[in-house]
Amino acid sequence: MPVSTPTAAVRLRAVPFDLKETFECGQCFRWDPDSTGGYRGIVGRRVVTLRQDGDFLMAEGLTQPEAEALLVPYLALDEDYAAIHALFRENETLARAVDYAPGIRVLRQDRWEALCSFILSQNNNIKRIKGIIARLCESFGEPLGGGDYAFPGPEVLASLSEEDLAPLRCGFRARYVLDAARKVAGGEVDLDAVAALPTEEAAVALQAICGVGIKVAHCALLYGFHRIECLPVDVWMRRVMATLYPNGLPQELLPYAGIAQQYLFHYSRCHPSLFAGDGQPAKGDRP
C-alpha cells in the first residue's frame, strides 16, 4: 500500500479561515462553489478542490507535500491572522467588518494573473469580470483536463490582436490587456524587477502599462505581490473612507492597510445601505 493514495486525506490546518468568505470577497475570480459545499479553483497549473472540516482544509488534487508547498503560501496560511485580527479589533469600525467575515484571508495570487484580472476589472462588475476571465482562459489558456484551463501567460496574449479578443466581450479593456501582455512579455515591464522595488516605485512601474492606473496597480501589488500595505481605493472603498475614516486609516493599521481594506470592502458590499448617503458625490451626480 502506498503511503499516499489518490483518496488519502490531505489536510492543512487553517484558523481562522472560511472558504466562502475568502473566495467570494472580491479578491479572486477563478474559484467557484461545487455541489458538495467545497470550492474548486485553479492555482497555477493545478486544479484544486477544497473543503472545510473544522480547523482543517481538505485538499483534493494534490499530495500532502504539494499542498504544503502550493497552498500554504497561496492561502496565506503562514500569516498570523490571529494577531492581525487582534490589531484590527482595537478599531471599532474595523472590528465590525472583521466580525462580519472573520474567515477572509488575502491570497497570494500569481502576479500576471492578478495584474491582468484587475485590468479587466475596471469600470466593471464582479460577475461579468468572472465571465470575461473564464472566456479568456478557455480561449487562450493551456488545457488542464476536466474542462479546466490555466490562465494564459503574457507571451501567449502578446501575439494576439484586439479582434482575437473580441469573443471575450471585454470591451475597451482589450487594448489594455494587449498592452500589458506585450510590455510584460517584452520585458519593458519586468514583474521580477517590480517585485524587488519599494512599493510606491513598483506602483509607478506598473502604471507604464496603458489601462493601469493607481487602483489597478495597487490591486496587482496587493493580490499578486502580497504587498499588504497597499490600499486599493475603488468606488466602494471611497464610500467607506468618506463615511467611516474621513481622516484616513489610523497609523498603526497602515502596514496592513490592504488586509483591512479587504474586510471593509466586503462589509460595505454586503451592507450597501450603510453607505448610501456618504456626502461624497458619486460619479454620475449632478451638483
Distance in angstroms (rounded) separating the CA atoms of residues 175 and 72: 35
Distance in angstroms (rounded) separating the CA atoms of residues 50 and 41: 8
For residue 65, count other CB atoms closer than 10 A to its CB: 10
234 is a contact residue toward DNA (CB under 7 A) = yes
Of the residues 14, 25, 71, 257, which one makes contact with DNA according to CB under 7 A: 25
102 is a contact residue toward DNA (CB under 7 A) = no
269 is a contact residue toward DNA (CB under 7 A) = yes
Distance in angstroms (rounded) separating the CA atoms of residues 84 and 130: 29
Of the residues 137, 180, 216, 221, which one makes contact with DNA according to CB under 7 A: 216
Q: In what order do the strands lie in the sheet with 31-33?
A: 11-13, 56-60, 46-53, 39-43, 31-33
283 is a contact residue toward DNA (CB under 7 A) = yes
Measured from the CB atom, the residue of 68 and 278 that comes closer to DNA is 278
Measured from the CB atom, the residue of 43 and 59 that comes closer to DNA is 43
C-alpha cell, 226: 502580497
211 is a contact residue toward DNA (CB under 7 A) = yes
Distance in angstroms (rounded) separating the CA atoms of residues 218 and 233: 9
Q: Where are the beta strands (DSSP E) in the chain?
A: 11-13, 31-33, 39-43, 46-53, 56-60, 143-145, 148-149
* Contact status, residue 19 vs residue 39, Cβ threshold 8 Å: yes
76 is a contact residue toward DNA (CB under 7 A) = no
Measured from the CB atom, the residue of 73 and 213 that comes closer to DNA is 213
270 is a contact residue toward DNA (CB under 7 A) = no
Of the residues 30, 108, 215, 226, which one makes contact with DNA according to CB under 7 A: 215
232 is a contact residue toward DNA (CB under 7 A) = yes
Tell me the window of 36-44, 57-65, 147-155, 216-224 that interacts with DNA (CB under 7 A): 216-224
Binding mask 107-126 for DNA (x = CB under 7 A): -----------x--xxxxxx
Of the residues 172, 193, 252, 255, which one makes contact with DNA according to CB under 7 A: 172
